[in-house]
Structure 1
Amino acid sequence: MNEGYLPTRQEIPGQYKWRLEDIYPGDDAWDQDYRKALDLAARAELFKGRLGSSARTLLEAFQLQEQLEALNEKIYTYARMRRDEDNTNSVYQALTDRADSLSARVQASVSFYVPEILAVPDETLKQFLQEEPGLVPYRFMLEELVRQKPHILSAEEEQIIARAEEVTQASANIFRMINNADLTFDPVRDERGREVELTHGRYLQFMESGDRRLRRDAFASLYSSYCRLQNTLAATLGASVKKDVFYARIRKYPSALKASLFADNVSVEVYDNLIRTVRENLEPFYRYMRLRKKLLGLDKLHMYDIYNPVVQDIDWKIPYQEGVNVVRDGLVPLGDAYVETMVRGINSGWVDVYENKGKTSGAYSWGPYGTHPYVLLNYQDNLNNVFTLAHEMGHAMHSYYSFKTQPYVYAHYKIFTAEVASTVNESLLMQYLLQTVKDRGKKIYLLNHYLEQFRGTVYRQTMFAEFEKVIHERVEAGEALTPELLCRIYHGLNVDYYGPDVMVDSDVDMEWARIPHFYNAFYVYKYATGFSAATALTRRITEEGGSAVARYIGFLHQGGSDYPLNLLDSAGVDMTTPQPVQECLAVFARLVAELESLTL
């Protein structure tokens, strides 16, 4: 697939396309289910005002809800995935629009379920569970609703909050428009001296360039643009933080952080443990920065010098089928059943491999309950794409086992655990490659790649998490988030995290202004905890073998049937303690030492 031009969808050979016919044999079957879903939505509304009348009625309502939502998911994913094959296809643009409308209709038809169930006395719900064996599978869901009860307001108040959502999301929407539509950057000269436009997409590409002048110019251009809007952007972020504090207080949480963690039943100690443990292990990171400075031959390491590879690009072409074989061999520690199922899926229509005109960019794993998972790729013949394949197949296998074992209500897992399965696959693959690759240049390249994952996912995301915690605490204490205060906090964190060998340029003080995750508060810590849990699990799998593998595969089977921390504990990592994060950072320290031994 390297002909030098982008093929049409029809020009992609069939063996490299996913088989969406496993969901629906054709659009007519999709349309039949669409009409069926509308009928089920109308039937669901007939339960309004009756959910607390009897155990049998509640069971029938739950069963209908599951049937409706599973069918809606099937309808929606088919339409979207067909559109993702070629976004210019008007047939599937229309199907996706219809699927969006159906989803809104379905959501509205069951919107009364939660408030009605919460109005049922706890003792009555317990009695229902004793009376009706069919309700037993819904016990965890009901217990979770009861747990949320102290933070649910009256029906009238909830309606007001729901209607206010469009207004309270304004800060995120305004930021999105500023960042993606209105903000422009001064042009820069590329490696060949040509004047080129700087965009968000090109910025990272320039930061990875071997031309230091280009990196410096792109860095200065980007942040000077944010600096010109510092007052507006500080007001926008400040409004978003105030929104978080408002919702926490109105729902009777002690803090915005506590309110955010409550959904996953995660304690503040888990969040604080992450920050404290990473801070206690900054010395290996400082050591990595010192090594980077030496390998790049620099007297001073600036913030625009921390993204470019420490080794020159190597010619390491890995065609797709070879990539599949490498992933297969790397995941052997997970056992024959796992590997055979994964390879069989790859070879039987789970994966859409190559880019074509109109195809959605990037990569993802998706698929409706009741069928097998799917993976969208835009495969290029390089190492990064092999890791992407391993990553997305980790998600796919998680879904495969979860869908196979769990009822619909528990088949989908939360973000807190989602990245664990994908990162375990990547970690095992990296471990395999480091053990089998003999070429020194390739080994250095692998180590640099892996260390950058630690830097970006553990150290950087934890710094972001600490910044979020600090600015929310400032607002809760009555302070205003001025540009000067935000820059001062952000500068101090960069100095702390990057250490004495990195010049923390004043330009980067404005980086807080370009991070979209800050408008979805207290989310980024999950990247760091997920990576830490996966690294610790990889160590157990390789050191303990069968027993650790059995626990891990069991974890994949459990989907969302328990709280994330309980699920991870069953896999063998206790995230309520600092131990998994400590283990993860110990691996990082060993990798730094290994890179030193190969390069110094």
Structure 2
Amino acid sequence: MTTVRSRAEIPVEDTWKLEDLYPDDQAWEREFQDVQSRLGEVEAFRGRVLESAETLLAVLRLEDDLSLKLERLYAYSHMRKDEDTTNSTYLALADRAQGLAARLAGAFSFVVPEILAGDAGVVQGYIDSHSDLALYRHKLDDILRRKPHVLSAAEEAILAQVSEIAQGPTTIFSMVDDADLRLPTIRDEQGQEVELTKGRYSQFLESQDRRVRQDAFTAFYAAYKERLNTLSATYHASVKKDVFYARVRKYGSSLEAALDDDRVPVEVYDSLIAAVHEFLPALHRYLRLRKKVLGLNDLHMYDLYVPLVPEIHREVSFDEAKKTVLEGLAPMGEEYLGVMRDAFASRWVDVHENRGKRGGAYSWGAYGTHPYVLLNWQPNIDNVFTLAHEMGHAMHSHYTYAHQPYVYGGYSIFVAEVASTCNESLLLHHLLKNTPDEAMRRYLLNHHLEQFRTTVFRQVMFAEFEKLTHEAVEAGHALTSDWMCDTYRRLNETYYGAEVVIDDQIAWEWARIPHFYTAFYVYKYATGFSAATALSRRILEEGEPAVRRYLDFLSAGSSDYPLEVLAKAGVDMRSPEPVRQALQVFEETVAELEKSFAGS
């Protein structure tokens, strides 16, 4: 029997070097005490933020200094905890860092209201007259542009007290979905009774046994149907909360309010939906191929996730994966590859699974040092893509850290998936170009098409549902369970067309989507994927000029708004063209997979 190793059994060279953040826990403790002791310094600025240019500069610098140290404290403690989630020492450190973060946010909570309560002309005058304040021009401009949507101090205080109540729908959904929902048992491929869980549900939908897929699908949604009235009332309350905040803050709609953080026009959201509708025939063509390859007379919703090509069981060592990823990213040029080689040699990556280690994969870190990557390595081709993906995030952070001051040393979620997906696209191109094995080529093509289907088409269908529900409430209509089921079913009919039998159960799917409680978020998956596809294609076609623009994008951090940063890289997301170009790649990939199967 193969057992999972303890943390102590993992070779040091395969672990991340968190000593680059703090040499030991004692150094962490000293910095924690330093930040905690300096929180009192903030209060001296209350009521004085706009007293002079020097005072404004001083409070902004103090905020940067303490926030940077907190970021390091937070990252170190949480990554140590993720090494072994049973280690009580680091559970305690992570909890303390979280508490300190809340206290720091509270200490500085008066700064933005005081800036907004002042005269914008005074702030601009300070920036123009004090050279050191020029660094903060974009930050201050971003604060000031929100002034029409900020209320009086008394009204803001009331909204702050309401915020905890406003979290009610999300909390209730989580309790129903995670605690109260009871899933039944089904029979697996061997006829054994197995308890259905959310994790197993995904696995069962990929089963080659159609009876298992159908049983899992039917049982899974039956559990949600039993709670449909509760979940419809919960989601209705969430949408009403969004509409309430948008109206109170004087936005034209809840969609406009949600997009304003990134200064994204509503037209971008609408044009994304329109572009995807234009390419629905390509999705239907892929679904026809899926039905044909699976040998089915009709394609049901529970047939959409089973792989067209069985998983390729070829073991890939981590060393081989690093080599393959570097080869795949060769079009990025020697500068980019040099950083990645150094990352592998300098222990940015925590490679192997161990007892108690957090599952999954991520990239994290703190400004002032290099980023880190957590993996739970499994020796297969999917994990090679995971390595490329997470290293894309890490490279984005590296270039941002290297070229931006701390105040702009992060980046928006709107662009967060661009670098990771671009890496995957370049790796896929390399593998397809250098893989003579036709079965592997089909596997890779199918992998890419499923990324498109689930990240672009499916997420945009979700985004359209959110738009319709919020517009309904804004027009004074109630979101009954019947209305939402009918609306969601019609969307599925539109997106999947005549190629798929729209099973009754799919009308209830909206009730299980947690992202709907963070309104107008999911569209960013589709825009990020589309931007990455456009950028990777330009890198392959144009070479050095496109690479240079792309590295400038990685280096921009939050020094400008997301749409502006992407535009400088050559991708104008205000136009539907990047989305259309990405969907043309989808169309071409469908044709290539059709050709491959036709030749077999």
Q: Please, what TM-score do these two structures have when normalized by structure 2? A: 0.99
CA distance in 1, matches of 2:53, 2:72: 29
Q: How far apart, in 2, do the equivalents of 1:476 and 1:76 lie?
A: 40
In structure 2, what residue type is equivalent to 1:576? R
**1:151-189: per-residue Cα shift (whole Å, max 9, x none)?**
011111111111111111100100001001110112100
Tell me the SS of whatever aligns to 2:23: coil
Per the alignment, residue 581 of structure 1 pairs with 579
Corresponding residue of 1:530: 528
Residue 66 of structure 1 corresponds to 64
Instruction: After superposing the two structures, state which structure 1 stretch, 158-167 or 293-302, moved more.
Output: 158-167
2:150 equivalent in structure 1: 152
Give the Cα–Cα distance (whole angstroms) in 2 for the partners of residues 474 and 423 of structure 1. Answer: 34
Deviations along 1:393-428, one digit per CA (max 9) or x if unpaired, are: 000000001011111110100000110010000000
Q: Distance in 1 between matches of 2:270 and 2:314?
A: 41
Instruction: Name the residue aligned to 2:53.
Output: 55
Cross-structure match for 2:208 = 210
Letter in 2 for 1:344: D
Which residue type is aligned with residue 594 of structure 2? E
Q: Distance in 2 between matches of 1:490 and 1:213?
A: 25
Report deviation, 1:108.
1.0
Map 1:182-581 onto structure 2 (within 5 A): 182-581=180-579
Q: Deviations over 1:58-117 (max 9, x none)?
A: 111111110000000001111000000001001111111111111111111111110011
Describe the SS at the equivalent of 1:375: strand
The whole-number CA distance in structure 1 between the counterparts of 2:326 and 2:432 is 15
* 2:93 matches 1:95: yes
- In structure 2, what is the Cα distance between the partners aligned to 1:572 and 1:317? 38
Cα offset for 1:384?
1.0
Q: Percent identity?
A: 55
How far apart in 1 are the matches of 2:313 and 2:362? 27
- Report whether the alignment pairs 1:41 with 2:26: no
Instruction: Please give the alpha-carbon distance, in whole angstroms, between the structure 1 residues aligned to 2:160 and 2:344.
Output: 43
Which structure 1 segments of 5+ residues have no match? Answer: none
SS of residue paired to 1:67: helix
Contact 1:40 1:64 in 2 (8 A): no
CA distance in 1, matches of 2:562, 2:93: 35
Distance in 1 separating the partners of 2:278 and 2:332: 32
Distance 2:496 2:345 in 1: 45
SS of residue in 2 equivalent to 1:499: helix
1: CA distance between counterparts of 2:50 and 2:367?
29
In 2, the alpha carbon distance for the partners of 1:109 and 1:202 equals 45
Q: What secondary structure is seen at the aligned counterpart in 2 of 1:263?
A: helix
Alpha-carbon distance, 1:42 to partner: 1.4
Name the SS for the 2:262 alignment partner: coil
- Which residue of 2 is the match for residue 108 of structure 1? 106
- Alpha-carbon distance in structure 1 between the residues aligned to 2:443 and 2:540: 23
2:4 aligned residue: 6
User: Secondary structure at 1:371's aligned position in 2?
Assistant: coil
**AA at the equivalent of 1:245:** V
Offset, 1:452: 0.2
Shift of 1:203: 0.5
CA distance in 2: counterparts of 1:519 and 1:152, whole angstroms: 23
Give the distance between the partners of 2:293 and 2:341, measured in 1 at CA: 39
Shift >4 Å, 4+ stretches: none
How many residues get paired?
598
Secondary structure of the residue aligned to 1:500 is helix
Query: What is the alpha-carbon distance in structure 1 between the residues aligned to residue 168 and residue 409 of structure 2?
Result: 33
- Supply the distance in 2 between the matched residues of 1:316 and 1:296 (Cα, whole angstroms): 23
Separation of aligned partners in 1, 2:542 and 2:20: 38
RMSD of Structure 2 on Structure 1 (CA): 0.7
Q: CA deviation at 1:39?
A: 2.4
Q: Secondary structure at the match of 2:373?
A: strand
Deviation at residue 217 of structure 1 after TM alignment? 0.2
The alpha-carbon deviation at position 209 of structure 1 amounts to 0.8
Matched, 1:161 2:180: no
Letter of the 1:68 counterpart: L
SS in 1 for 2:50: coil
Amino acid at match of 2:144: V
SS in 2 for 1:489: helix
The C-alpha deviation readout for 1:302-359, integer Å capped at 9, x for no partner, is: 0000001011222221111101111100001111010110121122110000110010
1 CA distance for matches of 2:118 and 2:153?
13
Aligned partner letter, 1:524: V
Structure 2 unaligned segments of length 5 or more: list them: none
SS at match of 1:438: coil
SS in 1 for 2:39: helix
Please state how far the C-alpha of 1:387 moved relative to its aligned partner: 0.6
Distance (Å, rounded) in 1 between the aligned partners of 2:309 and 2:470: 40
2:363 counterpart SS class: strand
Counterpart Cα distance in 2 of 1:316 and 1:589: 28
CA contact (8 A) 1:457 1:527 kept: yes
Cα distance in 2, alignment partners of residues 6 and 55 from structure 1: 58
Distance 1:113 1:316 in 2: 56
Q: Distance in 1 between matches of 2:291 and 2:446?
A: 13
> Quick one: which amino acid aligns to residue 293 of structure 1?
K
The amino acid that maps onto 2:522 is V
Letter aligned with residue 70 of structure 1:
L
Q: What TM-score, normalized by structure 1, do the two folds share?
A: 0.99
1:262 shift after superposition: 0.6
Task: Give 3-state SS (helix, strand or coil) of 1:171's partner.
Answer: helix
